Every structure is written in structure tokens, then in C-alpha cells.
């Protein structure tokens, strides 16, 4: 058994067996962050259900479940060798930023949402709103609202709307650290926040990460914002279950809220260590949340177009 990086929410091991390597994952009751952040360990079972559900109609974009031990809140899945399946986040940090791959992420993500939209049976299987509240709504939106009166009304309204929508199967943690750049396209991991909710959240969550990295990795800012644009465009092209403009407006609003949350929420982005970067992101996010001249109803594309690095230097 070899311990692997499990992020803040779980322990993960590579286990070498006679039949080949597998990955074993166990949920932690208290997450590895500075703030007191506890979450139900039953999220491991939600993740297994998400992986199996998506694997049933798109097997190439998720790892195969090998076994599970629900009473221990752990499970095993097929291990994907890093040489052929590098983590997308590592590729971005290394400067290998491919907007075309980001478009594939958008295509795969909208495919998941389209295949599960307006399905009462799937909604019943993922009635995990309390878990989503503990893992996403409270630490990302309500925690910031509790400590910042200026944006509190908008954040609370966004949180209420997010929890009231039950539209499609949501992954809940679509981040470059949870996506492998496989030879056949993206492979999604870590669906422990899965819920039947608002698909705009998944698009916003991943867009947030790309825009944060555009600030952090300045030499690659143009390619990173181009990646966000292409992902959003590919996603929008596949929206068939509701009005595309309405979803993209919700995604824009949630992206602004999540940008602020990754600076001032319970789970700040660990790579944003320079205070000038944090200040810039905080200022921009709060302006989007409160400024009438930057109304979030303009949608996700407008937000991305106004982000640092959205165009080459000198281009107006």
C-alpha cells in the first residue's frame, strides 16, 4: 500500500495486488483545513453511486469501481497510471495549457447533465442536499456571507436558489485536480459532493479554478482564460433541457461567488499565497456581486471576457 494525495477530504492509497494496482479511498469526518469543517462520511457512498451511474452511459470518463465497503465508507477503483492519465491541474501548472482539452471537459460535463436531467429516479437516488449543504453551500457561500455584510444578501440569495433547484445529476467538485487528462479525453474523479441539483454549479466550479489559475500563473493567463471560454462554449452547445441563457447567467453568478469563496471561504485556494493576487480576486469578485455596472445577469461569457488574461497584452 502506498499513500497518495487525497486532498483535504479523504485518505487514498495505491494498493498493488496480484491482479494489478487499484486505488482505495476512504472519506474523512473532518476535512484537512484550518477552519472546523466536518462533513458526513456517507459521501463515499454517494461518490460510488455517481461513478456507477455515469459509467453506465459514459464508461470512458470515469474509473471502474472494483469494490466497496459501505460500513467503513471506503471503496476501491481501477488505478489509472499517471503516465497515461496525468492530473489536469499538474498539466496546467507545468504550462501545458490546452484549450481544446478544456472544450472536451465542457462536452463531457454537459453530456452528464443532459443524460440525467429531469429524471425522478435519479433525483431519488441522489437526494443528498444535506451533504451538499455541508460540503459546498455552507463553507463556500454562507461562511463568506456570515463574515462579509456587503455581499451577504447576494450570497444568501444564490445559496437559496442553488439548493432549491433539482435539475440534473451534479458532480459538485469539477476541478482540474479531480480530472485526469486521459488519452481518450477527460476522466472525472472525486464525486463525493454528488447531488441532484443545479448543473450550473459544476460549470461554475471548474470555471472558477481556471480563472484563479489565470491570476496565479500569469505567463499562461491568456491560454487559461481561453480554456475557460472554450469549456463554457462547448458546454453551452449541449444544453437541451432548459434555456441556455438562463443557465449561463446562473453559472456567471455562481462563478463570482466561488471566486470570492476561494479567497475568504473555509477552503481557500492553497496556491494563492500572494496577497496582491488575493486582493485582486476579492475586489473583482465583490464588484461582480454588488456592482450594478457589472450585473451578473450578463452571464458566464461576459465574466470570463473581463477577467485578467482574457486577451493578449496590448489587445483591446
Residue matched to cell numbers 496565479: 216
Q: Provide the pLDDT for residue 312.
A: 66
DSSP H helices in the chain: 43-57, 88-93, 99-116, 120-125, 129-132, 143-147, 152-164, 200-216, 221-237, 244-264, 275-290, 300-305
Q: Provide the pLDDT for residue 294.
A: 44
CA distance 292 to 93: 35
Q: Provide the pLDDT for residue 31.
A: 59
3-state secondary structure of 85: coil
Q: What cell was used for 90? A: 499538474
CA distance 27 to 277: 32
Q: What cell was used for 186? A: 477527460
Burial of 48 (0-12, 13-18, 19+ CB in 10 A): buried
Running along the chain, 316 residues long, what does each successive block of 10 average in pLDDT? Answer: 74 90 83 58 84 95 92 88 94 97 98 98 95 92 95 95 98 96 95 95 98 96 97 98 95 96 92 93 91 60 89 50
Residue 38: DSSP 8-state: B
185: alpha, beta or left, given left = phi > 0 and alpha = psi -120 to 50? left
Q: Provide the pLDDT for residue 8.
A: 64
Amino acid at each position: 500500500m502506498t499513500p497518495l494525495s487525497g486532498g483535504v477530504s479523504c485518505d487514498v492509497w495505491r494498493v498493488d495486488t496480484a491482479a494489478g494496482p487499484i486505488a482505495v479511498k476512504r472519506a474523512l469526518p473532518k476535512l484537512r483545513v484550518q477552519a472546523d469543517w466536518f462533513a458526513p462520511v456517507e459521501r463515499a457512498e454517494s461518490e460510488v453511486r455517481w461513478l456507477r451511474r455515469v459509467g453506465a452511459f459514459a464508461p470512458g470518463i470515469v474509473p471502474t469501481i472494483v469494490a466497496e465497503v459501505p460500513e467503513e465508507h471506503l471503496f476501491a477503483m481501477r488505478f489509472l497510471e499517471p503516465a497515461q492519465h496525468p492530473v489536469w491541474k499538474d498539466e496546467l501548472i507545468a504550462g501545458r495549457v490546452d484549450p481544446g482539452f478544456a472544450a472536451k471537459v465542457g462536452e463531457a460535463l454537459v453530456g452528464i447533465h443532459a443524460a440525467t436531467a429531469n429524471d425522478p429516479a435519479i433525483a431519488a437516488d441522489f437526494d443528498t442536499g444535506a451533504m451538499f449543504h455541508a460540503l459546498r453551500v455552507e463553507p463556500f457561500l454562507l461562511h463568506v456571507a456570515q463574515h462579509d455584510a456587503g455581499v451577504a444578501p447576494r450570497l444568501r440569495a444564490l445559496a437559496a436558489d442553488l439548493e432549491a433547484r433539482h435539475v440534473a445529476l451534479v458532480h459538485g467538485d469539477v476541478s482540474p485536480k479531480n480530472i485526469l487528462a486521459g488519452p481518450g479525453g477527460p476522466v472525472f474523479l472525486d464525486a463525493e459532493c454528488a447531488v441532484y441539483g443545479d448543473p450550473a454549479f459544476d460549470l461554475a466550479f471548474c470555471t472558477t479554478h481556471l480563472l484563479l489559475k489565470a491570476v496565479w500563473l500569469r505567463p499562461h493567463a491568456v491560454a487559461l482564460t481561453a480554456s475557460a471560454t472554450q469549456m463554457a462554449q462547448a458546454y453551452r452547445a449541449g444544453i437541451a433541457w432548459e434555456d441556455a441563457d438562463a443557465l449561463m447567467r446562473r453559472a456567471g453568478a455562481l462563478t463570482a461567488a466561488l471566486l470570492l469563496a476561494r479567497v475568504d471561504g473555509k477552503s481557500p485556494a492553497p496556491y494563492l499565497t500572494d496577497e496582491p493576487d488575493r486582493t485582486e480576486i476579492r475586489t473583482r469578485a465583490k464588484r461582480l456581486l454588488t456592482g450594478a455596472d457589472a450585473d451578473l445577469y450578463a452571464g458566464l461569457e461576459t465574466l470570463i471576457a473581463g477577467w485578467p488574461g482574457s486577451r493578449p497584452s496590448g489587445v483591446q
